[in-house]
Every structure is written in C-alpha cells, then in structure tokens.
Amino acid sequence: MLATDFRTSFKWKLQEGVFAYAIPAFVMVILGVFFVFPIGTLVLKSFIGPAGFTLEYFRLLFQNQLHTTAIVNSLQIGLYSTLTATLISIPLGLIHVKCKFKGKGFLFGLILLPMIMPPFVGAIGIQQFFSLYGAINLFLISHNIIATPIPWLENNHSFYIVILLEALHLYPILYLNLTAALSNIDPSLEEMADLFGVSKLRKLTSILLPLATPGFIAGATVVFIWSFTDLGTPLLVGYHEVVPVRIFNMVTDIQENPMGFALVFIVILMTMLFFGISRLTLRNTKKYEMMAKGHVTESAKSTSFFGTLLIYIFCIVILFFALFPHLSVLLKSVSENWFMTALPEKYTLEHYTKIFVQELPFIGIKNSLFYSSISTLFDLIFGVAIAYLLTRKKLPFGSLFESIVMLPLAIPGIVLAFGYIVTFSNTPLDPLSNPVPLLIISYGIRRLPYMVRSATAGLQQTHISLEESSSLFGASRSHTLRKVIAPILTANLIAGGLLCFSYAMLDVSDSLLLAMKEQFFPITKSIYTLYLEQGNGDVTASALGMFVMLLLGGAILLAANILGKKLGELFRS
C-alpha cells in the first residue's frame, strides 16, 4: 500500500515538474523565434547600416516631412480616438452601474455591437455616402439644400472621419473596463459621502472616477495603441498620411529604403512606452484597494420614466453613429444600379450568392476559417496551460513569464508582420512563397493573451481542493486536467476561443502584409482587393464584409454573454 502511494506520489510530482517547466519552455521558444526575434531584428536593422552602427536612418526619417507628419497624425489619431471613446464610455459605464430600468440588459448588449463591426469595412460605406458625388451630397443637392457638393473626404475631413470610426469601434473596450472597475467600488463609500452632504458631481470626481482609474488606464491604453497602429481604416478611407500606411507602402522597397526600419522602431518605442505606463499604473492598484467590493445590484437605483427615456435616447444616438457606416455597407451590399442617386434604384441579394461562387471571395472565406481555427486551437491548448501555471504554481520566473506572454498586446500587428517579412524572407518560411505558417502563428501569438486571461478568470473561481482530491485518489495530472479542470472551465474556454477566432478572422495588418498571392488571401485581404477592383468589386466586398460581421457578431456577443463584465478583463493592456 505504501509502495503504491509512493509510486503515485512520485508519478504526480514527476508529471508536475515536467508540466511546470516543459510548457513554459516551449512557449518561450515559440515566442522567442516568432515574436522576440523578428522584433529584435527590426530594432537592430534600424541602428545598423553598411558600415556598422548608425543613426543615419533616424536623421533621414526626421528630415522627411512626410514621415514626421505621419507620426504626428498617428499620435493625434490615437489621442483623439481615446479621448472620444472616453467621453462616450464614462456616461455609459455610470449608467450601467448606477441605473436600473426595463430593457437594460438588451440595451447594453446592443452597446457592444460596434466592437464586432470592423471599421475598415465601415470605411467602404463611408466612401459610398460621403464621396464627392456620394449619397449624402446627392440627397442634399436634390432637395436644394446645397448647390455644389461638399468635399467631405478631402482636406483634413478624412482625418476626423478616421478618428470617429476608430472611437466608435473601440469605445466598448473602454466601456467594459470602466464598468468592471465601477462595479467593484464599495457602495459604503458613496453612502458615507451622502451622510456628509457631498454633491453628486463631487462624488463622481473625487470618489468614483479616481477609484476606477486602473480600469480606465487599462482600457484606454488598448484603445490608444489599437487606433494609433490601425492600418485598414485609414487605408480604405483614403487618409494615407499615417504611420501604418507608410509602413505598408514600404514593404515592397525595404531593401532600397531602410528608413522603414527606423519608422517601425519609433512605433515599437511608442507602443512599449504606453504599455509600460499602463503596467506600472496597474501594479500600483494598492492605492485604490477598498475594504470590500461592491456589486452593481447593490448600488443601482431604479430610474424614473423621464430618466429612462433620456438613457435610451443617449444610447440610440451613439448606436446610430457607430452603426451608420455599417448600415451603409449593408445597403450597398443589396444595391443594384446605385449610381448618381441618393439611394439604390433596385435591390438584390445576388451579391451574397457571388461570395460563394466567385473565386476570390470563396478563397478568402475558406482560408480564414482554416487559419483562424488552427490558431485558435493553438491558443486554447497553450492558453489553458499557461493560465494554470500562473494561477496554481509559484514559478521562480512567473512574473517575467506572464509579462512576456502578455507582450503581444503591446506590439501592433503591422510591426510583427513587417518583422516576419524582413526576418523570414529567403527562408523556408518566406511569406512570398507560402505565408500560411506565419499567418497562423501571428494570429495565434497576438490572441494568446485573450485566452490566457479568459482561462485565468475561470481558474481563479475554481478552488484548488478539487485538484488535490483528484490527486489523493491517484489520478494523473493529465486525467485531472481533462476530467476535473476542463469541464469547469468550459464556459471560459468557449468565450476565449470565440474571441480568439473572431479577431483572427477580422485581422487586417498581418493579412494585408503577409498574404501576397491570391491563393493564400484571408478574408480581409479579399475584401480589400475586391474593393480596389473596377466595376462591382466594391459591392461584392460589401456583401463579403456583411457576411463576416454576421458570422462573427454572433460569436462575440455569445462570448460577452458568457463572460459578462469579465469580458473587459481580456482587453486590459
């Protein structure tokens, strides 16, 4: 009996040791080869010239007005998009936490819809409605409101359209983080303030918002980095004076124009700077700790009819502006003979049948489903293993390991794709020959943090005594993971997997840069290529874009329903 117990204990400890070190080692190798190495290569090439160390590329970069203007424009887009998203998210978060009214769950489910609507698809609708002879101008002219077309997309107008599209797409991320932070504020703090006669405005500025600062910074950093480095939206809107588009245009001549390395280094430096500030702030959350955590149900108060009406009006206005570009895409996807008229003359569903018949759209759908499925499987396997190690084991290098795993959140997709092209050209992984391995790897690495955080949230709610009981009865480590841990984490794994799959399907930067041959195009590259085609290419692109949004919309809303407020934790920097 003792011998059996000893063998079981020894087997368990051996498996535990192998699991605790083999998984981190493998993940570190993958991240080292396909994340650290490409980024490091870009950094080195930005400082190394034909004669050795040099700062010449940076001197040339800052002497080129096109590049310096692009840097300033991108920073402004990131800043103004974050500010606009903040102005939208703060009232939404306060309403969600403090107000109780009929239809609240349904209304705030709709509020998340813009998160599933990629702004680069909405840019197609913007072009249709706001071009010089688009639907808006033609409508205004036909009703004698204006005499000549308004250049909506010319001069600096497209700059503000990009900001608006980014903010209206990304505000749900900030809203989710703010809602989670505000929900955890101890209601007794507000009760004490009421006893001392503190005004509502003073409570907001002195209690609620300061205590929600960590959640705000976590979400705001993601919004800033995302909008600062987004490629698809400015590319399709036609605003090319931004860093991502400049990098995109430099891919073909990087050997002749090494300033691209310096430009990429600037992007890495800026994103890492903001990521570092966010991490430092979140580490200081002890400054914001309370004696107890509150809940939405404890502090939410019933709203009057007039108050509820105002809430609905506010939310509907936001949804209208957020969904308007995509409603335009929907209208275009069912249009027939829409030329020089405010609205289509006829409507048809024929364009939706074309996406399954024509070669290019079908290639995009088929490839993206394959790439996203394999990358999600990678995230599922290693995300759960990493989350288990971080929550259950005291690894000597745990903090470093967690930081490296989360680092892909701080590195834009366009930088990683650019690094792959530079690093793996003329190798067996050359994306010009076959980009499939690098596309799958880039999708997986960039979404791995989502799965890790989703699984971590589930493990933190599961007591370790269940695993200890399993070991006492002689179960192996793998058996315990399969039969005890996995069933408990099912909801979290489904939610995390849906998010990883959805955002891989919607990926723009990696897809546009790495997929250079039509046979390997993901769905976003197919949409972009169709949009540039003469004739009805933009109509087919609209139908394909709507298909993607319908497919992934259900996936992300299902994930939001499963995780609830914890969905915001996946989008923390």
Judge if 85 and 190 occupy the same domain: yes
Tokens of 97: 């936490």
User: What whole-number distance in Å separates Cα of residue 259 and Cα of residue 265?
Assistant: 10
User: What whole-number distance in Å separates Cα of residue 45 and Cα of residue 425?
Assistant: 15
Q: Is residue 407 part of a domain?
A: yes
Judge if 354 and 344 occupy the same domain: no
Nearest to 410 by CA among 242, 231, 262, 218: 218
Judge if 326 and 358 occupy the same domain: no
**Exposed e or buried b for every residue in 210-245, given b needs 16+ CB within 10 A?**
ebbbbbbbbbbbbbbbbbbbbbbbbbbbbbbbbbbb
User: What whole-number distance in Å separates Cα of residue 407 and Cα of residue 403?
Assistant: 6
Query: What is the DSSP secondary-structure string of 289-316?
Result: --SS---HHHH-EEPPHHHHHHHHHHHH
Q: Is residue 99 part of a domain?
A: yes
Q: In the listed set 322, 348, 374, which residue is the last one of a domain according to the structure?
A: 348
Judge if 376 and 338 occupy the same domain: no
User: What whole-number distance in Å separates Cα of residue 420 and Cα of residue 422?
Assistant: 5
Structural domain count of the chain: 2
Region of residue 57 (left: phi > 0; alpha: psi -120 to 50; beta: else): alpha
pLDDT in tens, the chain (573 residues): 445 554 555 454 555 555 567 777 888 888 899 999 999 999 998 898 888 888 888 888 888 888 899 999 999 999 999 999 999 999 998 888 888 888 887 787 788 778 777 777 777 778 778 888 888 888 888 888 888 888 877 767 889 989 998 999 889 888 888 887 777 776 777 777 777 777 777 777 777 777 777 778 878 888 998 899 998 888 888 888 999 998 888 876 665 567 888 888 999 888 888 877 777 776 665 555 554 444 444 567 788 889 889 999 999 999 888 888 888 888 888 888 777 777 788 888 888 888 888 899 999 999 999 999 999 999 988 888 888 888 877 777 777 788 788 888 878 888 999 999 989 988 999 998 999 999 999 999 999 988 888 788 777 766 666 665 666 666 666 666 666 676 777 777 777 787 788 889 888 889 999 998 999 999 999 998 988 887 778 888 888 888 888 877 777 667 666 666 556 555 555
Identify the CATH number of the domain in which residue 232 sits: 1.10.3720.10
Nearest to 420 by CA among 407, 408, 432: 432
Dihedral sign for Cα 458, 571, 510, 268, please.
Answer: negative
Q: Is residue 198 part of a domain?
A: yes
Q: Is residue 42 part of a domain?
A: no
Q: Is residue 530 part of a domain?
A: yes
Q: Confirm if 94 and 180 have CB atoms less than 8 A apart.
A: no
Q: Is residue 137 part of a domain?
A: yes
**Host domain of residue 389:** 1-34+350-573
Give the distance from CA 232 to its chain's centroid.
13
Residues 6+ apart with CB under 8 A from 223: 81, 82, 85, 170, 171, 173, 174
Judge if 102 and 186 occupy the same domain: yes
Q: In the listed set 296, 319, 348, which residue is the last one of a domain according to the structure?
A: 348
Q: Confirm if 450 and 570 have CB atoms less than 8 A apart.
A: yes
Question: Which residue spans within 323-471 are E strands per DSSP?
Answer: 335-336, 346-347
Q: Is residue 43 part of a domain?
A: no
Q: Is residue 48 part of a domain?
A: no
- Amino acid at residue number 196: F
Angle, to 10 degrees, between the axis of helix 65-98 and the axis of helix 305-333?
140
Q: In the listed set 348, 369, 392, which residue is the last one of a domain according to the structure?
A: 348
- Amino acid at residue number 312: Y
Judge if 392 and 436 occupy the same domain: yes
Judge if 282 and 398 occupy the same domain: no
Q: Provide the pairing of β-strand 301-302 with 335-336.
A: unpaired
Judge if 325 and 452 occupy the same domain: no
Judge if 337 and 386 occupy the same domain: no
